[in-house]
């Protein structure tokens, strides 16, 4: 009994930081409609800034002062980010906002690395609260008790601010109707900035508060992001009591999970989320989210046309050059291009459902890594030959996509994005924690191609045929009625349903198709590398694909593979620099704001300007 | 002759509010039936139930003897009911002709085809439909750059694609200039007349209603208070009372027609 109560108390204490980050994210989304993917980064900054302040501020007052100051400083950093990065993209489609905030994650990561260095920092303990108290014989840290007391105060203060003050009334009004509030003479820009300050300050506060328990490290941002999304989704987007309730549920669950099912702590969280969403698609205390009409950035997407003869010739020539590669270049280039082609197929599969279907998935790595793991598991445990494993990989990924797609497609927009991310995390945690089967962090090794295909040149041709074939198939699908139906469902679901199109089913099939193709890429990947590790399932991997699709050009047919080829090609070169994340993050932000057409779109424009390409009549 | 559409005791409550209360009417083949009423009368609720967006609390809607109440919009479309929206809904990333082709592809159940090229499918039929609404010269234009009146005409062509027996039009001339309204409604009436399609439409513009409707129904506070020919409705004192509180517009209409 004593242990039981002690664990509940630990869970409640852990809920504190989680609640603060989640409520900040929820607040920002409620008013600005932006899902701030960089919210975990502000949490991390809170921890680092708090740590530095605690080094200089002495004693009990210094400790708590440092936490408060850390919140304020992080809030101010949030203000800078809001003004520089988000203001230009408020009217843009969700994807652009998400990608922009992802750029912020990269920038903050490298800045933190620059300032605080790569080593983990151990948080100082709170002066006066260093001991434990015994509750029914079980030790409970005094600091935990302090957290349990503090969190409800923060929650109540927030609730009071939102429901009882004039500022809160404005915030709630803006949550319901931004245009109306600004028509009533409220300076919308500064209201947004203010809310962003508050949201980021909360994240910073959460990061600083958990210092004595968890310290500060450079992985904090992504680690908490998954949990925060789960909390926000379970609690209901925009609901403060919901965020608190869900933070407590998840934290208590985690503590019990550690004791009774240490193999499944991470998985447990996502299972709870899926169950909640089955019965309440908008979270425990959330309200139905009406899909907002989003504006456009740049010119409207153009109608597509199959390639003309000149373009076909060009593609054929390109394929010929690619196909003869082993004859005129060394082993290094052959292996590199194999990797590039595999990544191109992965990116093209995401681009297919994102570009044609408007389905912004943040967990596409689930199918890439899933296919890779499926192949690796079959090889390891059933001695499956490569040929069969390469068939089973896409099938398994497709089956996973059927299930995951069914759950995720119950919601739309940002909820859909967060659900796919959560499922990606679920598969990652399965691979990571189920060490007996998946090898955990050590991965699965010795997954080599069959003898006849073990030569790099031969494997190159296998990858060439399957990847190019897959990309061409995806492209054909875009020109086929199915691709048109996807665009119809995206452009106007209302009209599509009114002309007999089952839009959900179209999206479900598209999701599965993309999953199958990603699974094929994953299968090819594992035999090319000879091993597979959980990081291929990570959210960061999903983001990789998303970023190249975006930089390649979402509104073009070739954006996916072009972006992938470009970035996989320069990756080796780029990652040699110490602060390449900073450079990449900044370029992403610049592209979002200045060149949203991406590589292919910009090239097309340049081609039209210099008369190489024909300008369509209706070009604006 | 049995009616195309037969609505009996259709009701819908929102909590204690009876948005549509026991509405019954028939729609004959080839008839142009207008549903009018002041704001909040229940027109939209009524329309949404007929189109499948809203489930009725009670009552039946029969299309050629088959009950369609509570079916999803796409199922109702498959049974031969077309519709146009108050605010146009088209596929902005496609060309004009592709918008119509999309409806034809769906009608011929080729949505899941991966091997054919969508832009080649049913192109001739689509162009013929665009011709009937006078849009064939704009067939290759990008839908996103069309003028609003042209979008309305395109939507009409799309709604005709599966050869409907019944067309539901939610304020077909909303958002257009007065001269365009008359022209568009004249075009619509001519096409529907030629094809023998029955129409139920809502409309706020009384010029349009009086000029084209064969019959008019008046809804007030969820109840059907009148159902008759244009003249009957115009001279119905109850309609004048509740619909326009004195009826200056009706007077003006009479003067104009006198």
Same domain, B134 and B157: yes
Same domain, B249 and B201: yes
How do beta strands A138-141 and B198-202 pair? unpaired
The CA dihedral of A280, A283, A286, A287, to the nearest 10 degrees, is: -40
Partner residue opposite A476 with nearest CB, options B101, B114, B142: B114
A482 to chain B: which residues are within 8 Å by CB?
111-114
pLDDT value of residue B57: 92
Between chain A and chain B, the number of residue pairs with CB atoms below 8 A apart is 119
pLDDT value of residue A618: 60
* Total tally of structural domains belonging to chain B: 2
- B54: Cβ contacts below 8 Å, ≥ 6 apart: B12, B45, B48
Q: Using a CB–CB cutoff of 8 Å, tell me whether B108 touches chain A.
A: no
Phi and psi angles of residue B7, each rounded to the nearest 5 degrees, phi first: -110, 130
Nearest CA in chain A to B85: A495
pLDDT value of residue A114: 93
Where among B163, B191, B226 does a domain terminate?
B163
Q: If you average pLDDT over residues B4-28, what whole number do you get?
A: 91
Q: Using a CB–CB cutoff of 8 Å, tell me whether B102 touches chain A.
A: yes
Nearest CA in chain B to A506: B112
pLDDT value of residue A294: 43
**Residues A362, A417: contact at Cβ < 8 Å?**
yes
Phi and psi angles of residue B228, each rounded to the nearest 5 degrees, phi first: -175, -170
Range of the domain at B174: 29-56+72-80+166-258
Contact map slice: B 37-66 vs A, CB within 8 A: 51
Render pLDDT for B71-96 as a digit per residue (tens, 0 to 9): 999 999 999 999 998 888 899 999 99
DSSP H helical ranges for A302-434: 309-323, 325-328, 331-351, 365-382, 386-408, 413-433
What is the rounded end-to-end Cα distance, in angstroms, of chain B?
35
Q: Using a CB–CB cutoff of 8 Å, tell me whether B162 touches chain A.
A: yes
Tell me the DSSP string of A247-274: HHHHHHHHHHHHHH-TTSHHHHHHHHHH
Question: Shortest Cα distance from A250 to chain B (angstroms)?
Answer: 36
pLDDT value of residue A21: 94
Partner residue opposite B112 with nearest CB, options A304, A305, A482: A482
Token pair 């704009």 in the structure block, residue: B138
**Residues A367, A515: contact at Cβ < 8 Å?**
yes
pLDDT value of residue A297: 46
Residue B173, pLDDT > 70, answer: yes
- A137: Cβ contacts below 8 Å, ≥ 6 apart: A2
C-beta atoms of B91 and A506 within 8 A? no
C-beta atoms of A499 and B161 within 8 A? yes
pTM across the whole model: 0.87
Same domain, B185 and B151: no
Q: Using a CB–CB cutoff of 8 Å, tell me whether B121 touches chain A.
A: yes
**Residues A498, A484: contact at Cβ < 8 Å?**
no
pLDDT value of residue A529: 92
Q: Using a CB–CB cutoff of 8 Å, tell me whether A475 touches chain B.
A: no
Same domain, B177 and B258: yes
C-beta atoms of B112 and A509 within 8 A? yes
- The domains of chain A are located at 2-219, 314-609
Partner residue opposite B89 with nearest CB, options A477, A494, A616: A494
A347/A425 Cα distance (integer angstroms): 19
Inter-axis angle of helices A539-552 and A94-116, to 10 degrees?
120
C-beta atoms of A499 and B106 within 8 A? yes
Sheet holding B5-14, edge to edge: B17-27, B5-14, B58-63, B66-67
Partner residue opposite A491 with nearest CB, options B93, B112, B117: B93
B77 to chain A: which residues are within 8 Å by CB?
498-500
Same domain, B154 and B170: no
Question: Shortest Cα distance from A616 to chain B (angstroms)?
Answer: 9
Same domain, B256 and B233: yes
Token pair 């494997």 in the structure block, residue: A459
Same domain, B35 and B46: yes
Where among B111, B128, B163 does a domain terminate?
B163
Residue A256 in tokens: 């019990």
Q: Using a CB–CB cutoff of 8 Å, tell me whether B89 touches chain A.
A: yes
A222/A270 Cα distance (integer angstroms): 16
B9 falls within a domain: no
**DSSP H or E segment with residue A108:** helix A94-116
Question: Shortest Cα distance from B254 to chain A (angstroms)?
Answer: 39
B57/B9 Cα distance (integer angstroms): 10
**Residues A404, A423: contact at Cβ < 8 Å?**
yes
C-beta atoms of B91 and A492 within 8 A? yes
pLDDT value of residue A296: 46
C-beta atoms of B118 and A501 within 8 A? no
A306 to chain B: which residues are within 8 Å by CB?
117, 119
List the single best residue of A93, A358, A481 to mutate versus B (max B Cβ within 10 A). A481
Q: Using a CB–CB cutoff of 8 Å, tell me whether B113 touches chain A.
A: yes
Question: Shortest Cα distance from B209 to chain A (angstroms)?
Answer: 25
Same domain, B130 and B172: no
B174 falls within a domain: yes
Q: Using a CB–CB cutoff of 8 Å, tell me whether A293 touches chain B.
A: no
Question: Shortest Cα distance from A486 to chain B (angstroms)?
Answer: 9
C-beta atoms of A301 and B117 within 8 A? no
Partner residue opposite A302 with nearest CB, options B106, B118, B142: B142
A409/A189 Cα distance (integer angstroms): 33
Residue A99 in tokens: 């990608």
**A493: helix, coil or strand?**
helix
Sheet holding B223-228, edge to edge: B81-84, B166-170, B198-202, B32-36, B215-220, B223-228
Same domain, B171 and B258: yes
Question: Shortest Cα distance from B87 to chain A (angstroms)?
Answer: 11
**Residues A18, A231: contact at Cβ < 8 Å?**
yes
pLDDT value of residue A290: 54
C-beta atoms of A300 and B162 within 8 A? no
C-beta atoms of B106 and A616 within 8 A? no
Q: Using a CB–CB cutoff of 8 Å, tell me whether B154 touches chain A.
A: no
List the single best residue of B48, B78, B88, B89 to mutate versus A (max A Cβ within 10 A). B89
Partner residue opposite A480 with nearest CB, options B89, B98, B117: B117
List the single best residue of A495, A507, A510 to mutate versus B (max B Cβ within 10 A). A495
Partner residue opposite A479 with nearest CB, options B73, B85, B118: B118
Three-state helix/strand/coil letters over chain B = CCCCEEEEEEEEEECCEEEEEEEEEEECCCCEEEEECCCCCCHHHHHHHHHCCCCCCEEEEEECCEECCCCCHHHHHHCCEEEECCCCCCCCCCEHHHHHHHHHHHHCCCCCCCCCCHHHCCHHHHHHHHHHCCCHHHCCCEHHHCCHHHHHHHHHHHHHCCCCCEEEEECCCCCCCHHHHHHHHHHHHHHHHHHCCEEEEECCCHHHHHHHCCEEEEEECCEEEEEECHHHHHCCHHHHHHHHCCCHHHHHHHHHHC
Q: Using a CB–CB cutoff of 8 Å, tell me whether A185 touches chain B.
A: no
B117 falls within a domain: yes
Same domain, B142 and B194: no
Nearest of A601, A609, A593 to residue A103 by alpha carbon: A593
CATH, domain range A314-609 = 1.10.3470
Q: Calculate the alpha carbon distances from A462 to A325, A326, A457 in Å.
A: 13, 13, 9
Render pLDDT for B216-225 as a digit per residue (tens, 0 to 9): 999 988 889 8
Same domain, B144 and B197: no
Residue B138 in tokens: 């704009």
Partner residue opposite A491 with nearest CB, options B92, B103, B114: B92
Inter-axis angle of helices A188-209 and A166-176, to 10 degrees?
110
Same domain, B140 and B256: no
Three-state helix/strand/coil letters over A160-199 = HHHHHCHHHHHHHHHHHCHHHHHHCCCCHHHHHHHHHHHH
Half-sphere exposure of B246 (CA within 13 A, CB side): 1
C-beta atoms of B119 and A491 within 8 A? no
Question: Shortest Cα distance from B92 to chain A (angstroms)?
Answer: 6
B94 to chain A: which residues are within 8 Å by CB?
303, 484, 487-488, 491
Partner residue opposite B73 with nearest CB, options A482, A491, A498: A498
B258/A168 Cα distance (integer angstroms): 60
Low-confidence ranges of chain A (pLDDT < 50): 291-297, 620
Where among B134, B163, B192 does a domain terminate?
B163
C-beta atoms of B114 and A480 within 8 A? yes
A152/A19 Cα distance (integer angstroms): 10
ipTM: 0.90
B95 falls within a domain: yes
C-beta atoms of B90 and A495 within 8 A? yes
C-beta atoms of A495 and B105 within 8 A? no
**Residues A609, A310: contact at Cβ < 8 Å?**
no
- A273: Cβ contacts below 8 Å, ≥ 6 apart: A230, A233, A234, A422
Residue A153 in tokens: 């105060």
């Amino acid at each position: 009994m004593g242990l039981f109560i002690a664990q509940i108390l630990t869970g409640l204490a852990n809920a504190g930081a989680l609640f603060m980050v989640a409520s900040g994210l929820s607040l920002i989304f409620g008013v600005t409609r932006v899902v701030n993917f960089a919210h975990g980064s502000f949490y991390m900054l809170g921890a680092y800034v708090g740590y530095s302040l605690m080094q200089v501020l002495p004693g009990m007052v210094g400790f708590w002062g440092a936490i408060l100051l850390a919140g304020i400083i992080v809030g101010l950093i949030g203000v800078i980010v809001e003004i520089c990065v988000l203001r230009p993209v408020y009217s843009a489609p969700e994807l652009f906002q998400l990608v922009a905030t992802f750029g912020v994650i990269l920038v903050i990561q490298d800045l933190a690395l620059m300032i605080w260095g790569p080593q983990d920092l151990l948080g100082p303990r709170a002066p006066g609260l260093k001991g434990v108290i015994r509750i029914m014989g079980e030790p409970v840290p005094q600091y935990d008790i302090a957290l349990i007391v503090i969190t409800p105060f923060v929650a109540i203060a927030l609730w009071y601010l939102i429901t009882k003050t004039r500022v809160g009334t404005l915030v709630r009004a803006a949550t319901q109707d931004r245009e109306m509030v600004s028509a009533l003479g409220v300076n919308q820009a500064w209201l947004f900035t203010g809310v962003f300050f508050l949201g980021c300050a909360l994240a910073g506060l959460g990061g600083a508060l958990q210092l004595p328990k968890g310290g500060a490290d450079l992985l904090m941002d992504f680690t908490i992001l998954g949990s925060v999304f789960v909390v926000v989704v379970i609690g209901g987007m925009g609901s403060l009591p919901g965020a608190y309730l869900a933070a407590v549920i998840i934290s208590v669950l985690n503590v019990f999970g550690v004791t009774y099912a240490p193999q499944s702590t991470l998985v447990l969280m996502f299972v709870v989320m899926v169950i909640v969403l089955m019965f309440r698609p908008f979270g425990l205390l959330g309200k139905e989210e009406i899909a907002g009409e989003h504006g456009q950035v740049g010119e409207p997407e153009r109608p597509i046309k199959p390639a003309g003869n000149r373009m076909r010739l060009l593609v054929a020539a390109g394929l010929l050059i690619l196909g003869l590669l082993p004859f005129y270049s060394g082993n290094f280039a052959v292996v590199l291009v194999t990797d590039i082609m595999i990544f191109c197929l992965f990116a093209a599969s995401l681009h297919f459902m994102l570009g044609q279907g408007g389905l912004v998935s943040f967990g596409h790595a689930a199918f890439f890594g899933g296919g890779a793991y499926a192949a690796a598991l079959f090889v390891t445990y059933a001695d499956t030959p490569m040929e069969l494993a390469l068939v089973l990989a896409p099938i398994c990924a497709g089956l996973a996509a059927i299930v995951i797609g069914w759950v995720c497609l119950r919601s739309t927009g940002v909820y859909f994005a967060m659900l796919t991310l959560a499922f990606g995390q679920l598969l990652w945690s399965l691979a990571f924690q189920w060490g007996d089967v998946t090898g955990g962090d050590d991965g699965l090794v010795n997954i080599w191609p069959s003898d006849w295909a073990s030569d790099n040149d031969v494997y190159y041709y296998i990858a060439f045929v399957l990847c190019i074939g897959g990309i061409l198939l995806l492209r054909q699908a875009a020109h086929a009625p199915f691709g048109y139906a996807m665009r119809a469902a995206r452009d106007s679901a209302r009209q599509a349903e009114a002309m007999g199109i089952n839009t959900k089913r179209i999206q479900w099939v598209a999701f599965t198709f993309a999953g199958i193709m990603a699974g094929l890429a994953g299968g090819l990947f594992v035999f090319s590398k000879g091993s597979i590790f959980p990081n291929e399932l990570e959210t960061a991997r999903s983001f990789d694909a998303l970023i190249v699709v975006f930089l390649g050009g979402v509104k073009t047919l070739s954006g996916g593979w072009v972006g992938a080829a470009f970035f996989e090609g320069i990756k080796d070169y780029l990652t040699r620099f110490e602060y390449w994340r900073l450079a990449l993050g900044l370029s992403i932000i610049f592209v979002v704001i200045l060149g949203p057409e991406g590589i292919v779109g910009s090239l097309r424009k340049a081609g039209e300007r210099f008369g190489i390409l024909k300008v369509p009549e209706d070009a604006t | 002759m049995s009616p195309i559409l037969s609505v009996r005791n259709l009701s819908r409550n929102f909590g204690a509010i009876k948005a549509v209360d026991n509405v019954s009417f028939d729609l004959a083949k080839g008839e142009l039936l207008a549903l009018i009423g002041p704001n909040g009368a229940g027109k939209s609720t009524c329309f949404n139930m007929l189109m499948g967006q809203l489930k009725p609390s009670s009552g039946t809607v029969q299309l050629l003897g088959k009950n369609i109440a509570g079916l999803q919009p796409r199922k109702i479309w498959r049974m031969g009911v077309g519709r146009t929206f108050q605010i146009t809904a088209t596929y902005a990333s496609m060309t004009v002709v592709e918008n119509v082709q999309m409806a034809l592809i769906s009608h011929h159940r080729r949505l899941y085809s991966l091997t054919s090229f969508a832009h080649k499918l049913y192109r001739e039929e689509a162009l013929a439909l665009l011709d009937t609404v006078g849009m064939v010269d704009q067939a290759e234009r990008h839908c996103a750059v069309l003028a609003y009146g042209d979008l309305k005409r395109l939507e009409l062509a799309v709604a005709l694609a599966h050869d409907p027996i019944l067309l539901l039009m939610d304020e077909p001339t909303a958002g257009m200039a007065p001269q365009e309204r008359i022209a568009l409604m004249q075009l619509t009436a001519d096409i529907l007349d030629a094809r023998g399609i029955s129409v139920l439409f809502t409309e706020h513009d009384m010029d349009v209603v009086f000029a084209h409707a064969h019959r008019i129904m008046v809804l007030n506070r969820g109840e059907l208070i009148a159902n008759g020919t244009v003249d009957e409705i115009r001279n119905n004192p109850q309609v004048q009372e509740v619909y326009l509180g004195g009826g200056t517009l009706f007077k003006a209409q009479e003067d104009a027609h006198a």
